Amino acid sequence: SDASNSQIRRLADWDASRLRDLADDHGTPLYVLDRERVRQNYARLEAAFPDAEVLYAAKANALGDVLETVLEAGGGIECASAGELRRALAAGATGDQVHYTAVNPPAADLDIAVEAAAEQPRMTITAGAEDTIDRLAERGYDGRLCLRVNPGIGAGHHEKVRTGADAKFGVPAERAVETVLEAAERGFDVVGIHAHVGSGVSSDDLEAHREFVSRMGDLARNVNEALEPAATDSSTAESAVSKGLEFVDVGGGFGVPYRETDAPLDLEAVATATRDALGPLDARLTIEPGRYLVADAGVLLTRVNTVKPAPETTVVGVDAGMTTLLRPAMYGSYHPICNLASDVDDRSTLEQTVTGPICESADVFCTDRRLPESARGDLLAIGNAGAYGYEMASTYNSRPRPASVVFEADGSSRIARRRETLDDVVRLERSGEERQTQSA
């Protein structure tokens, strides 16, 4: 049906001539983001979860245009660092639209978060360790606090993104009630509990998701029960605790299809399962999608520089690499690849290995994939690059990071973030001249 088609946007659905023009105008490698697609993804999420608060996980793509799009659509921003917090505030987020989720936060991050919360008292700080609560108290913070718990369940596309059972994240569920009570007694305004179990969850994980959310619902009810007597016992903590939890945040992790044969996530089914599993609760449901909002809104454009026959495959060297898009090298992730050459339909297909310019054998976008025969100068599009693409880029091999272009539904486009130059790459280091004067 039309409705289910609109759930998926395949790489082939992008307007190839428009992408070719953007590559000609701005060079490659180039990240391209379709802002309208972010809006559509947000609208679909909102339709499936009409009562939930949506906090976009900025780590997926922290481009100001993306943050502004989410804020305009009515969402808030989940920030994992002082840098993301700064970006969210710069995009116009107000305190009530910001959660700062501290995972083992460096001191400077906490200073900045506490300072921001002093100016925006509706801001929420999420702590995942008792030490973090202590460190907030040391800084005089006793504002809105959310406790990140570890429900002991993991899910997701790769072991490296299954956070649920990883002890690094959150206070063990068994200690959650006690930790909330202690925080409330210290005067914190405990407003929520939070967990994020993993990223890239598919419809196959629905049972694990249901189990996780039901644990969160039970935990929230236990917390509320524990908080209530405290409200009558202690007059000082009354305002903080008498109202119970405002929200239960079940994190993000909504998966998107990467392979052409992957089915889209049945969002309605996830939403229904979430509501059912949460059970009766006088608290708002909060979700933190990252990937779902931006993955298929972005492509990476890259130019072919080298085509080399090898004994087992044909090696296609492109100008993007693991420093541009790390996911294939780091997780073995599949990203669709499409040759945008205008005569591509006339070419025969061939098994090819697409590689980057980095001196690492992990610098590979695909191995032995059947694609139309590549030629030097071809433009390739790598799909689903809108999430965790630029954000994970590096300057390894002293390679400048690419530019990002945003285009609008009306066909206009603009550079959202310029390409790094070689000057940018060396800027932070002492210059050769400085080294010589200092050693002389």
**Residue 356 interacts with ligand LLP (CB under 6 A)?**
no
Amino acid letter at 316?
V
**Residue 254 interacts with ligand LLP (CB under 6 A)?**
yes
> Residues for the chain: how many in total?
440
Residue of the chain from 22, 23, 45, 57 that contacts ligand LLP (CB under 6 A):
57
Residue of the chain from 35, 44, 162, 196 that contacts ligand LLP (CB under 6 A):
196
Q: Are 279 and 214 in contact (CB under 8 A)?
A: yes
| 225 labeled part of a ligand binding site | no
Of all residues in the chain, what percent are helix, strand and coil, respectively (each to 5)? 40, 20, 40
Residues 6+ apart with CB under 8 A from 410: none
Beta bridge partners of 309: 314
Span of 115-123, 207-215, 283-291, 312-320 interacting with ligand LLP by CB under 6 A: 283-291
Over the window 395 to 424, marking each residue x when it contacts ligand LLP by CB under 6 A and - when it does not, the resulting string is ------------------------------
Residue of the chain from 34, 53, 78, 296 that contacts ligand LLP (CB under 6 A):
78
**Residue 109 interacts with ligand LLP (CB under 6 A)?**
no
Span of 28-36, 113-121, 282-290, 361-369 interacting with ligand LLP by CB under 6 A: 282-290
Q: Which one, 253 or 357, has the nearer CB to ligand LLP?
A: 253
| 360 labeled part of a ligand binding site | yes
| 37 labeled part of a ligand binding site | no
Q: Are 416 and 408 in contact (CB under 8 A)?
A: no
Give the Cβ contact number of residue 427 at 10 Å: 10
| 312 labeled part of a ligand binding site | no
Which residues between 373 and 392 bind ligand LLP (CB under 6 A)?
A: 388
| 84 labeled part of a ligand binding site | no
Q: Which one, 54 or 340, has the nearer CB to ligand LLP?
A: 54
Gap between the Cα atoms of 91 and 414, Å rounded: 17
**Residue 363 interacts with ligand LLP (CB under 6 A)?**
no
| 253 labeled part of a ligand binding site | yes
Residue of the chain from 205, 288, 319, 363 that contacts ligand LLP (CB under 6 A):
288
Q: Which one, 199 or 413, has the nearer CB to ligand LLP?
A: 199
**Cis ω for the linkage preceding 402 (within 30 of 0):** no
Least Cβ distance, residue 154 to ligand LLP (angstroms): 12
Residues 6+ apart with CB under 8 A from 254: 45, 201, 265, 267, 270, 287, 289, 291, 292
| 228 labeled part of a ligand binding site | no
From the list 254, 129, 130, 126, the residue with the least C-alpha distance to 193 is 126
**Residue 290 interacts with ligand LLP (CB under 6 A)?**
yes
Q: Are 44 and 267 in contact (CB under 8 A)?
A: yes
Give the Cβ contact number of residue 144 at 10 Å: 22
- Clarify whether 359 is annotated catalytic: yes
Q: Are 127 and 138 in contact (CB under 8 A)?
A: no
User: Cα–Cα distances in Å, from 406 out to 65, 335, 400, 403, 418?
Assistant: 8, 20, 19, 10, 11
Binding residues: 253, 288-291, 327, 331, 360, 388
Binding site for ligand LLP (CB under 6 A): 57, 59-60, 78, 101, 161, 196, 199-200, 251-254, 288-292, 327, 388
- Which residues does the annotation place in the binding site for substrate? 291, 327, 331, 360, 388
Which residues does the annotation mark as catalytic? 359
Query: Binding site for pyridoxal 5'-phosphate: what residues are annotated?
Result: 253, 288-291, 388
